[in-house]
Amino acid sequence: MIKIQKVRMSSNPNAEVSDDGKFNVMTDGRLYFLVDFADPDNPFGGRRTRMVGQQLNSAGDAEWRVTPESIRALVGKTVKGDIVTRNVEPYEVGDNTVTQYTTVVFAHETVETVFRQANHPLTEAEVEVEAVTTTKVVADTTGEIAS
């Protein structure tokens, strides 16, 4: 479980802001905001942020699949998910090469997909570990898959 701490806009002074001042704007014009999450059992643990943005519907129009109001109503509550750290393909942060990434993964998501969509693909070894872990979770839940 993870606790929704705060709903906010980007603190980046270069982030574009919508005309009404309530959202940030992606380069393609879609709106987004940020949600901060924390471990509800460890107030000293880290906080992680996920972006929530408009998605394009089948007609190519931007729409909210999860409304900002529904997320704001959950501030202070817990949702199913976890703050996950994994080994990823190396990437640069300033002058440093980094090989780990941490993000929020919700219960209905797979670790591999969330990390790939954040442009931090898992290493091959981590992909194999995730495959074994996913199989075990399904087996423990349904009793249908032997590990």
Task: State the average pLDDT over residues 44-59.
Answer: 92
Judging by beta carbons within 10 Å of its beta carbon (0-12, 13-18, 19+), is residue 80 exposed, middle or buried? exposed
pLDDT at 125: 85
Tokens for 33? 């905001």
Enter the pTM of the model. Answer: 0.78
Q: How confident is the model at residue 147 (pLDDT cuts 50, 70, 90)?
A: very low
- In angstroms, what CA-CA distances link 86 with 2, 26, 130? 18, 27, 10
**Average pLDDT over every residue of 47-61:** 94
Q: Which pLDDT tens digit goes with each residue over 92-140?
A: 999 999 999 999 999 999 999 999 999 999 998 888 877 766 544 544 5
How far apart CA 35 and CA 129 sit, in angstroms, is: 28
What is the residue type of 31? Answer: L
Q: How far apart are CA 135 and CA 147, in angstroms?
A: 7
